[in-house]
Amino acid sequence: MKNILIIEDDEKIRRILQLELTHEGYRVDTAIDGDDGIDKFNSNKYDLILLDLMLPKLSGEEVCKNIRSMSEIPIIVITAKDQIKNKIELLDMGADDYITKPFNIDELFARMRVAFRNKSNYKSKDFLIYKNLKLDLQQKKFYIDNQEISITKREFALLEYFLINRELVLSREKILENIWGFDYEGDDKIVDVYINALRKKMKKNYIETVRGFGYILKSEIGGI
């Protein structure tokens, strides 16, 4: 059974998360402010932390940096959309992922599964590997069946995001936020343009359209 620490000062959100996670089979502890969160972390062993940013006493940003300095535990930030300007700011804090309020509990569970998977044997120091797809994170190269496929920087970033979140449906909005940034003001159809370009280079439909929802990376589509 995995142990989860919720650091959230909103009593209603904290209680809902505690009930939902307990129902899913997790063991849950809660903290009501930043100092309490650090104390709980130092006193117990956890597998993942759900962290609000707007906390009393010690901010979520400081809690995240503090914990990351001591541990590689997965940290998922729970935040209002306007609290983080871009993905770089989030990563600089040391978080693994984020979800914006109000959120869907099933999406949160999916992101937790991804975080657990990334901390096990899925993501190595140098590569992201899924079935016959491989990204070399150091050399910035992409391979299918060990054959290099020429892609642009933006395509590489898009593939990295899909590989990290493989088999999860990703909305166009979420892709834009993570790859183009919160402050992107262009046409959101740019996502479709890049995905279509990747599909042509990959030659098989690894990235499937989920009508009304977004896109998903799978391994067995179109005869793969």
**Residue 96 pLDDT more than 90?**
no
**Residue 121 pLDDT more than 60?**
no
Which is nearest to 168 in space by CA: 120, 93, 108, 125? 108
CB-CB contact of 60 with 7 (8 Å) = yes
pTM over 0.75: no
pLDDT, position 81? 62
Which is nearest to 174 in space by CA: 198, 193, 158, 153? 158
pLDDT, position 198? 94
Q: Positive or negative, the Cα torsion across 95, 101, 105, 107?
A: negative
Cα 2 to Cα 22: distance, rounded to the nearest angstrom? 10
pLDDT, position 195? 95
- Per CATH, the number for 123-217 is 1.10.10.10
CB-CB contact of 108 with 8 (8 Å) = no
pLDDT, position 115? 86
Give 217: exposed, middle or buried? Use CB within 10 Å, 0-12, 13-18, 19+: buried
φ, ψ for residue 174 (rounded to 5)?
-65, -40
pLDDT, position 84? 59
3-state secondary structure of 53: coil
Which is nearest to 30 in space by CA: 221, 21, 70, 102? 21
Residue 116, CA distances (Å) to 10, 20, 164 in order: 25, 18, 11
C-alpha count within 13 angstroms, C-beta hemisphere, residue 149: 21
**Residue 154 pLDDT more than 50?**
yes
Q: List where CATH 1.10.10.10 sits in the chain.
A: 123-217
Task: Please tell us whether the domain made up of 3-120 is placed in CATH 1.20.1090.10.
Answer: no
**Residue 221 pLDDT more than 50?**
no
Q: List where CATH 3.40.50.2300 sits in the chain.
A: 3-120
Q: Using 50, 70 and 90 to split pLDDT, how confident is the model at 223?
A: very low
Q: Using 50, 70 and 90 to split pLDDT, how confident is the model at 125?
A: low
3-state secondary structure of 131: coil
Helix (H) or strand (E) holding 9: none
